[in-house]
Structure 1
Amino acid sequence: MAPTITAATGLSQDHLSLSHKLRKPVVEKLRRERINSSIEQLKSLLCAEFLQQQPDSKLEKADVLEMTVTVLTRLQQQNKTHFLSQSLMKNSQQSHCTELHNHREALFCLQSSTSKDKRPENSAPWRPW
């Protein structure tokens, strides 16, 4: 009985190996198609950038990828600069608002203490109506 099981197992392994050998080229072709499709999408997204660099030359996949890295790096730098300038402006505005608030508070305290000095304690507050 043991040899029969081994023979069946061997047959099964041969079948799996054959199936794998037949399927591998199809899977690889699909992978290459996905890569090529993505590179074409990058090319169309960066069309203006490519026209500035080499308008008449055919670009290799490596060129498209390098250009994409360059553009994304530049965008990342711009975002960092923009974020930094926004943060500085926000901090400046907050500082200005704090100064203004402190100034108003000081004026209010000064006015309050000055008006208390001029007004007798038992008199009613002045109203324009």
Structure 2
Amino acid sequence: MGQVRIYHNPKCSTSRKALQRIRDTGVEPEIVRYLDTPPTRAELAAMITAAGLTPAQAVRRREALFGELQLAGADDDALLDAMAEHPRLIERPFVVTDTGTRLARPVESIDEIL
């Protein structure tokens, strides 16, 4: 298996489960703590597209900041701008491998790219 990268938030149980699932395959992934080192807008857009998602599917709607910024009904560009500026709004975790990119919700969705 080639490179495996996880955009990780250690406070998130789903993110921790995805990291463990990767490690259970015998791989130690590159861990990107995206709140500390967020992807650029272009990287984020590419990751979302590669996962077969839209920005509306990749944004954390339950995050209080989503409401504060009045993002309900926002278009893709506005959502990408908001996620790039405020990485807390990025749904997690994204896992990127040579085989593909997935949002690990549910965690089992990463199995096909590991």
Fold conserved (TM > 0.5)? no
Task: Identify the structure with the greater helix proportion.
Answer: 1
Q: Which has the higher contact order (CA 8 A, sep 6+)?
A: 2
- The alignment's TM-score, normalised by the length of structure 1, stands at 0.23
- The alignment's TM-score, normalised by the length of structure 2, stands at 0.26
Task: Identify the structure with the greater strand proportion.
Answer: 2
